Amino acid sequence: MKLPRNLTEKAIFMAIVSLISVNILGSVISMMEIGFNFKNYILILHILPFIWLAVIASVLIAEKPAAFLKNQLVYKDDSFSSQIMVKVIFDVLIISFLMTIVGSWIGNDHISMYPIVNLPKIWPRNYLAT
């Protein structure tokens, strides 16, 4: 598998991966909060397009900080595999922090301090689900 090499390939790759992850992970994490049943799944389907937009935004937001952190940890002479692995780890960490907070706001349909105050309790479960 080759990495996206231009903006078009990057957009297609992000669309495919984000749609799959939002439909699977978004549903599972939401149902861990509100319970696994068909009625809750139908409720989640109405929220998923907004979650998808938030995922795309968080991926774009996390790109530069993750690259900065990777450059602090990995030398330029290190292997391509190690550079990609560290970058992906930082990307996933940043995106999971953002989506734990923003996803809760979208799912509850209002902004509150609950996901920020309870981040140490909520985030590990969401991160392990990814």
> What's the per-residue H, E or C state across 67-127?
HHHHHHHCCCCCCHHHHHHHHHHHHHHHHHHHHHHHHHHHHHCCCCCHHHHCHHHHHHHHH
Whether residue 61 is predicted with pLDDT greater than 90 in this model: the reply is yes
Give the pLDDT of residue 108: 83
Give the pLDDT of residue 68: 95
Q: Which two tokens stand for residue 20?
A: 């799959």
The average pLDDT across 87-107 equals: 90
Higher pLDDT, 128 or 88: 88
Alpha carbon distances (Å) from 106 to 39, 46, 49, 71, 73: 18, 11, 10, 33, 34
pTM (two decimals): 0.79
For residue 68, count other CB atoms closer than 10 A to its CB.
10
Whether residue 73 is predicted with pLDDT greater than 90 in this model: the reply is yes
Q: With contact defined as beta carbons under 8 Å apart, do 52 and 73 qualify?
A: no
Whether residue 10 is predicted with pLDDT greater than 70 in this model: the reply is yes
